Structure formats: C-alpha cells, structure tokens
C-alpha cells in the first residue's frame, strides 16, 4: 500500500467526482453502456460489490438499476467523499485481497478501472471469485491503448501522478491471470 498514492490525497479525492462531469464525461457514458451490457449478460442480478469504488460514482449508477450495492475501497479519503453523495449506501474500507464478506455474498463483484492499482491481482481475482456468485466485471485500462501509452510516457517524465504506482494490463495479461 502506497500512502502517497493520489487516492489518499484529500484535495484529489475532494475533486474526483467532478472528472465525470467534465474531462471524462464522454468516456463515462461509453463505460456505462458497456457495463449495462455486461450486467445484462449475467442474467438476473440482485446484488453487487464494487471494489475500488472511490467516490461510488459507478456504485450509485449500478444501484439505479435496482441492485443492492456495497462499495469497498482502501482510501478513507475517497470513502469520505463517497459518503457525501451516497448517504444511504453501504461503504467499507478494506483491502481487495481480504474482502470482509462470506463466500458467495454478492451476485457480481465489479472492478472499474482500479485493477491497475492492485498490488497482487491474482490474489484479488481469487478473492473476488470467492465472494461472487454469478460473475466478475473488470473494467480495464488496456496497456496497449494510445491513451495508456501516453500516460506511461507522462509518468516516466514525472508529469502524471495518477499512474505512477499503476500496473497496466492487456487483455491477454488478464486472460493469463484468470487461468
């Protein structure tokens, strides 16, 4: 765990939700369209755990489809901001490698763009498999996409603190880990 990571910084956590209304508005719409298709493919779904929920932007969106949602995040700063916008939801601070839930507690476990920050992705996947009844949704930041290549160059130049502790994966990398 890196306490200097961006998601532990109060000023960033405080403004994080605004990214979805500004810079990432178009990407947000596309991601939600895809997430809805993934949910539909899983059949009837009643409960969802979002790991790495941050300010619960996607957790709240999943809830708008009638799902009973829980958010789990490592960052107390992000969860503090989440509680301001999602007052009725269940939020827990915890590690993705040691989820504080019984086996098969949720229909779905979702990771939206947070796998890059998981120090032991195989442990995280095993733990998600333990907790999920129907499936796991991974929203990946593909290491071979042009925006990700730009981010990696920025990190090497010391210009992008959001990804300095990130490990990007390709779809093939994820398939290998899932095996």
Which of 29, 120, 117, 30 has its CA nearest to residue 78? 117
Placement of tokens 């765990």 in the chain: 1
Residue 152 to residue 149: CA distance in whole angstroms: 5
pLDDT 10s digits, 1-42: 567 788 998 998 999 888 888 878 888 999 999 999 999 999
pLDDT number for residue 24: 82
pLDDT 10s digits, 112-130: 999 999 989 999 999 999 9
Q: Name residues whose C-beta falls within 8 Å of residue 119's C-beta, 6 or more positions apart in sequence.
A: 1, 97
In terms of phi and psi (left: phi > 0; alpha: psi -120 to 50; beta: otherwise), the region of 104 is left
Average pLDDT over residues 31-60: 96
CA 29 to chain centre: 16
Ranking 42-51, 78-87, 160-169 by mean pLDDT, the lowest is 160-169
Residue 155 to residue 163: CA distance in whole angstroms: 7
């Amino acid at each position: 765990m890196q306490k200097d990571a961006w998601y532990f910084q109060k000023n960033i956590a405080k403004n994080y939700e605004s990214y979805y209304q500004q810079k990432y508005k178009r990407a947000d719409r596309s991601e939600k369209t895809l997430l809805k298709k993934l949910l539909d493919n899983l059949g009837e779904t009643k409960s969802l755990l979002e790991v790495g929920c941050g300010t619960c932007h996607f957790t709240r969106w999943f809830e708008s489809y009638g799902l009973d949602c829980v958010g789990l995040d490592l960052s107390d700063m992000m969860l503090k901001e989440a509680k301001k916008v999602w007052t009725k939801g269940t939020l827990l601070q915890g590690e993705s490698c040691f989820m504080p839930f019984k086996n098969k507690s949720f229909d779905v476990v979702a990771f939206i763009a947070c796998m890059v920050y998981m120090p032991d992705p195989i442990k995280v996947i095993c733990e998600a498999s333990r907790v999920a009844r129907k499936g796991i949704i991974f929203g990946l930041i593909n290491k071979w996409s042009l925006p990700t290549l730009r981010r990696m160059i920025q990190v090497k130049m010391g210009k992008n603190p959001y990804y300095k502790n990130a490990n990007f994966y390709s779809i093939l990398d994820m398939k290998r880990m899932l095996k």
